[in-house]
Amino acid sequence: MPLLEVDRLHARYEYAPILQGISFSVDAGEIVSVFGRNGAGKTTTLRTIMGWLRPSEGRIIFNGEEIGGLSSDRIFRKGIAFIPEDRRIFATLTVEENLLLGLFTEWQTGAERNRQLGRAFDLFPRLHERRAQLGKTLSGGEQQMLAIGRALVRSPKLLLVDEPSEGLAPMVVTEIFESLVRMRDDGIALLLVEQNVRRASAISGSCYVMEKGRIIKHGAPADVLADDAIRQRLSV
């Protein structure tokens, strides 16, 4: 059984339909990428899974349970974390305080809290070095690391990741993608929306291509990108 199964999902903003019956799945410990041009519905897909947008039709099954229409905090408690494109770190809180916000839904002993923070610091040693710095003093790459670390401390089963390489230097992009692979190897599933098709396809077990709110192609990345029409659409 897939960890996440999206079945004929529809979603809209007010009266404008965005998602038009998409279906896909993500297995435990797998990276699945979603590609497409701007406005294809990729971010809307993540927001709907996370409960930021209520589906108008269809089902979202996570870990065997229907979660479509639940509030985002309940979905978060069930084991899904979302790293949005704009990161949403708190500029006037320190790195450590931002990370601690990832644990706000449950009481933990000091030892448990330190163990969870240690997961983020192990993945990104730079966060440990800057743990007393305010979020607004970090570089763009460090802010992305912080956003990922904040999601990681909650020990999610599934991470929804929106455009993690956007606006980052190539060296930092490499570090970010290496962190995604490490999380996958630790058993975390990832649903990744990414414009850097080559980077994302290299670490993904499967991928889906969206256009105008529909999935037009899916399969193993090598097979999908062997289609000249798809390559042209994605500018690969």
**What's the pLDDT at 113?**
78
| Span 19-78, pLDDT tens digits | 999 999 999 999 999 999 999 999 999 999 999 999 999 999 999 999 999 999 999 999
Look at strands 158-162 and 189-193 and give their pairing: parallel
Look at strands 206-211 and 31-35 and give their pairing: parallel
For residue 136, give its domain range. Answer: 4-234
Question: What letter would DSSP give residue 154?
Answer: T
Global pTM reads 0.94
Phi, psi (5° rounding) for residue 171? -65, -40
**What's the pLDDT at 114?**
81
Number of domains in the chain: 1
Question: What is the average pLDDT across 80-94?
Answer: 93
Whole-angstrom distance, CA of residue 189 vs CA of residue 124: 19
- For residue 215, is pLDDT > 90? yes
β-bridge mates for residue 35, sequence order: 209
β-bridge mates for residue 61, sequence order: 5, 66
Which single residue is written with the structure tokens 């994302």? 200
| Span 227-236, pLDDT tens digits | 999 999 998 8
**Is the torsion defined by CA of 113, 189, 81, 195 positive or negative?**
positive
CATH of the domain at 61: 3.40.50.300
Whole-angstrom distance, CA of residue 174 vs CA of residue 182: 12
